[in-house]
Amino acid sequence: MQDLFQEMVEVYGDRVYRLILRYTGDRFRAEDLTQETFLRAYKHLDRFDREKPAGPWLFKIAANLCRNWQRGIRELPVEDIKALDTLPDSNPEQACLDKESEAELRRALKEMPLMYMEVLLLKHVGELSYAEIAETLELELSLVKNRLYRGRIMLREKLEREGR
Amino acid sequence: MKENEHCPRVTEIQAFCDGEETAAGIGQHLRDCAKCCSAYQDLLALCSTADRLSSSEVLPAGFQDRLQEKLEPAPFPAGQVAAAIFALALAAVFVLEPGFINWWLSVGITLQVSFLIDFFLKLYYLGHSLGPAWVIAALSAIVGVELAILHKIKKVEGYTNAC
Ligand SMILES: [Zn+2]
């Protein structure tokens, strides 16, 4: 039991953290919610089907926590780009560009409807397959494909608008 | 293969871009059909833009240790709690009962009572192992002692009454 849990943290820990960090834009909040994700997983480990990959199960918990967090706040701290403040970067110019790019992404994400944003994050941050995204969000596979396509178009449009 | 009604839907081409399972022959179709080839190129660019969302962030240092601490809460400090209760009880004896020394003496009396009970039990078991002659002798001795005590009490009471 303990070994299975340890394996989950090692395999999915970083990806769960990245997804929550993209969602919240706040390192402390992201660590807090990642801890909560794994604490809940540990608590309900007996409900986990060992025959299946743990990804969808963990991301479902993480997504629910993020939604609850989102409901609790009115505004996403889009201008707050401290998420990149502590990134090691020897090149200050590059760091500045990264920060700007990060801020653009956060503004674009903030403007997107949640249903598209979640599919995009699960695909590009969580690195899940279509089937795994469908399982995580309890959606039909065709709906995942459509939302992913529309989401990508939407993101590009918003980023182009940001770039102007 | 030319453009025709068998062109895959854009979401199918997207699935091909994402490395998902797709209908057989879609790769060949993308090479042969100019329209689908253009859609494929557009989708590759679209995926590349969305890939900006990915990051190389890793869990903060010490994350696993902090998680482990939450999984195993500190054991209940039974020793400290017992010591605290004892200290409180001791303080209560001093604060709430000024005659705590009398209370302590009563514990001494309790000790004497337990000694007497022990003594009579010993006598009882001894009675079981002795012959009848020994028991009668012992009882006679007790009766003799009792008579002597009563005689003494009568003398003391007689003296008191005389006063
Ligand atoms: Zn075609």
The domain segmentation of chain B, as residue ranges, is 1-51, 78-156
Q: Write A77-80 long-range contacts (CB < 8 A, 24+).
A: A77/A25, A77/A26, A78/A25, A78/A103, A78/A106, A78/A107, A78/A110, A79/A103, A80/A25, A80/A26
* Contact assessment for residue A13 and residue A42, using Cβ atoms and an 8 Å cutoff: no
- Residue A7 pLDDT > 80, yes or no? yes
Q: State how far residue B31 is from chain A, nearest Cα, in angstroms.
A: 22
> Confidence class of residue B5 from pLDDT cuts 50, 70 and 90?
low
Number of residues in chain B: 163
Q: State how far residue B92 is from chain A, nearest Cα, in angstroms.
A: 43
A152 contacts on B by Cβ (under 8 Å): 46-47, 49-50
Q: Give the tens place of pLDDT for each residue, A104-135.
A: 898 999 899 999 999 999 999 999 999 999 99
What value does the mean pLDDT take over residues A67-84? 62
* Contact assessment for residue A21 and residue B56, using Cβ atoms and an 8 Å cutoff: no
Tokens of B119: 């003594």
Q: Is B68 at the interface with chain A, CB within 8 A?
A: no
- Residue B163 pLDDT > 60, yes or no? no
List C-alpha distances in Å: A61 to A33, A46, A71, B15: 10, 15, 16, 26
Q: What is the pLDDT of residue B85?
A: 86
Are the beta carbons of A149 and B11 separated by less than 8 Å?
yes
A32 contacts on B by Cβ (under 8 Å): none
Q: Which residue has the higher pLDDT, A36 or A72?
A: A36
**pLDDT > 70 fraction of chain B, expressed in percent and rounded:** 80
- What's the B53 CA to ligand 1 centre distance in angstroms? 30
Q: Which residue has the higher pLDDT, B48 or B153?
A: B48
Its ipTM equals: 0.82
- The single residue listed with the structure tokens 């240092």 is B61
> Confidence class of residue A81 from pLDDT cuts 50, 70 and 90?
very low
Q: What is the pLDDT of residue B117?
A: 83
What value does the mean pLDDT take over residues B127-132? 76
Are the beta carbons of B50 and A152 separated by less than 8 Å?
yes
Q: What is the pLDDT of residue B161?
A: 55
Q: Which residue has the higher pLDDT, B56 or B123?
A: B56
Q: Is B18 at the interface with chain A, CB within 8 A?
A: yes
- The single residue listed with the structure tokens 């190129």 is B41
What value does the mean pLDDT take over residues A7-20? 95
Q: Which residue has the higher pLDDT, A67 or B105?
A: A67
Measured between CA atoms, the residue of chain A closest to residue B15 is: A145
Tokens of A30: 């992201």
> Confidence class of residue A74 from pLDDT cuts 50, 70 and 90?
very low
CATH 1.20.1630.10 fits A2-80+98-161, yes or no: no
Q: What is the pLDDT of residue B160?
A: 55
Domain borders along chain A are 2-80+98-161
Q: State how far residue B55 is from chain A, nearest Cα, in angstroms.
A: 7
